[in-house]
Structure 1
Amino acid sequence: MIQVTLCLVCAVHALAAQPSLDQVRELLSKGSRHSAVAMLRRIVAADPRNADAHIMLGTTLALEGSRSDSIQQLTEAVRLKPDSAEAYRALGMALARFVETKAAREAFEKAIELNPRLAGAHLDLSLILAQSGEWSLAREHLDRAIQIQGDTPAAARAYYLRAGIHGEQNELEAALADLERAVQLRPDFAEAWSDLGAVKRNLLDDAGALTALERSVRIDPKNGKAQFRLGSEYLHGRKPHLAVEHLRQALRLDPDDRATLYNLQMALRANGQGEEAKRVEARIAELLRQRSLASKTAIQAAKLNNEGVEMEKTGNLHAALERYRAALELDPEHGGFRLNLGLVLCRLGRWDEGIAEIREVVRRYPDNAEATKALYIALEQRLKTPASVETPAEKPVR
């Protein structure tokens, strides 16, 4: 009996020494992801059937950009808890982050099948559907999310996303109603205020547009689109001094945006600042000159890139590398050429150079899903592959 008691006491002490998920949550709340991952690995090593720990570990690894490890942990979580909608949703979110769109869609659909009232899964799935242009189906899931969330601040995002779908289909009155509801539920929703201002402007409600755009900029002064919209609205309303202020701010956030430059030079002229307007006009002319030059070299650059693609297919990676470099020299702004250069560098085992090129594509074109996916794969493969080994990479871009 004494031995049993001693064993129980030892077990209690051992459990007390084990890290807990609450401790992990505390670390994550402080931004200590690295420490949280280390603690979660200890938890799953001690208790491999702890599905919640696998979910938390997989989700944290996804935020860290660790593609395969994240998906592996979350796949294990759904194996351990096959009836958990939350586990499938977590898996779907990680897959979506790594641009595994088809698999993410299937995970979200499974989550909804298991729990039709999981509003977050409806929202997540609507985004995947909207990306593929399935507007009606996306709207159905947003309708369902709104129905579930009711009159709560959480529903504001669903209203905002549904307004975007209405806008894509030129249903401005419906978009207006949804955006007004979004800002009513969440008065600090800067993006919704900005889009509300744009819709009101299109519906010729200039006073309402100005009020909404001013509200958006007050909430988030670093939103370049809102600054541009507000500056343009002031210009339209013949308040050039105010237009100049906000268009300058928009230009700081996006120095080469031609629409901002054009409106800024008009506002400067209207405000009596002719010399500065001339400098802005010269910048516009320079950008147009660069664009014209780029169009003249585009055909030759595309020819070099396509030659590189064919050479890469036959395994002549070094020749492909030279073609991609030549194409990029003619058109440095072309994301596809730079991505091909990065991919072939990775295939040649020159990981740091290749990853740097792919990172630059993602930086310049953050919506480029192909480049984002390639970056995650390259980062992962670099850790697994000796530097001297040539490695298969993603299919080159024509």
Structure 2
Amino acid sequence: MQQFENTDEYIADLKAKLAKNRECGNTLYNLGVAYLSKREFMEAERYFREAVANSPKLAEAYVQLGGIAMQRGDMKTCLTYNVQATQQRPFFAVPWGNIGFCQLQMGETEKAVQSLKRAIKYDNKFVQALATLGSAYFSLGDLEEAVKSLEEAVKLEPKFGPAWNNLALVHAEQGEWAKAKECVGKAQESGYDVPEDFLKEIETNLK
């Protein structure tokens, strides 16, 4: 395995390979990932677009393009790219999780539940999808299913702060304030910034 001193050295090596084979989808994809690691989103996007133009079945590149769109707050474009990823690899869990997240943000909660369940079917340890599914169930008022999904998420990843915070919200909705306090404590331990108003609400209801 070739070692590089830094990302720029790695990029230079990839560009040298690309000069010999301009249409290599994997090299173009790796360049996109390298630029993404430097947070140079426009360059990353350019190489990911070239990657799928030359290798249309490269589902990971569609997912990365979706991630860049999400970073810009463009949920519709993010959704489109992830749908394209599933068309190339139907059993790839990651784009299904992203589709569910986009649908939830766009208010299509029922659709989000179906997409997220599909993501978890393909990868039952997909923590982000489990946590998002918990949020979707919470939005629908199905607190029992919300607890199940969120508890599974924190069981798999005990330091996943957003899931602990959402679990606290569900317990608060159920009137289980002691449990809510325990969950926000776990969220804070993970470095998650729990809203001050929610912390005050918990303390008020515990008095």
TM-score by length of 1: 0.49
Within 5 Å, give how 1:24-39 maps onto structure 2.
24=1, 36-37=2-3
How far apart are residue 140 of structure 1 and its match?
2.5
Q: Is the 8 A contact 1:224 1:253 kept in 2?
A: yes
Tell me: CA distance 1:130–1:266, structure 2 relative to 1, closer, same or farther (3 Å).
closer
Q: CA RMSD in A?
A: 2.0
Tell me what 2:96 maps to. 159
Alignment map for 1:11-90 (pairs within 5 Å): 24=1, 36-37=2-3, 57=4, 66-90=6-30
Deviation at 1:241, TM superposition (A): 2.5
Residues 17-49 of structure 1, C-alpha deviations (whole Å, 9 max, x = no match): xxxxxxx2xxxxxxxxxxx51xxxxxxxxxxxx
Which of 263, 272, 280 is equivalent to 2:198? 263
Query: Counterpart of 2:107 in 1: which secondary structure?
Result: coil
Contact 1:248/1:264 (CA < 8 Å) preserved in 2?
no
Find out whether 1:248 has 2:185 as its counterpart.
yes
The two structures have a TM-score, normalised by structure 2, of: 0.89
1:134 Cα deviation after fit? 4.2
Whether the aligned pair in 2 keeps the contact of 1:193 and 1:215 (CA below 8 Å) is yes
Query: Given that residues 184 and 194 in structure 2 are in contact (C-alpha distance below 8 angstroms), is that contact kept between their aligned partners in structure 1?
Result: no
| Structure 1 contact 85–114 (Cα < 8 Å) conserved | yes
Instruction: String of CA shifts for 1:154-193, please: whole Å, max 9, x gaps.
Output: x111011112222332222222211111112111111111
Deviations 1:315-363 (A, max 9, x none): xxxxxxxxxxxxxxxxxxxxxxxxxxxxxxxxxxxxxxxxxxxxxxxxx
Query: Corresponding residue for 1:183?
Result: 120
Corresponding residue number in structure 2 for 1:216:
153
State the AA in 2 paired with 1:102.
Answer: M
Aligned partners of 2:17 and 2:30: how far apart in 1? 9
1:174 to 99, 108, 111: 111
- Indicate the structure whose relative CO is greater, using CA pairs within 8 Å and at least 6 residues apart: 2
In the alignment, what sits opposite 1:102? 42
* Alignment-derived partner of residue 301 in structure 1: none
Pick aligned residue for 2:141 from 204, 214, 227: 204
Cα distance in 1 between the residues matched to 2:126 and 2:16: 37
Q: For residues 125 and 266 of structure 1, what CA distance do their matches in structure 2 show?
A: 40
Report SS of the residue matched to 2:175.
coil
- The offset of 1:145, in angstroms, is 1.2
1:133-159 per-residue CA deviation (whole Å, 9 max, x = no partner) reads 4444332321121122223xxx11101
Matched to 1:104, the amino acid is: A
SS of the counterpart of 1:199?
A: helix
Aligned-pair CA distance for 1:269:
4.6
Distance 1:267 1:139, change over 3 A: closer
> 2:176 pairs with 222, 235, 239, which one?
239
Task: Name structure 1 gaps, 5 residues minimum.
Answer: 1-23, 25-35, 38-56, 275-398
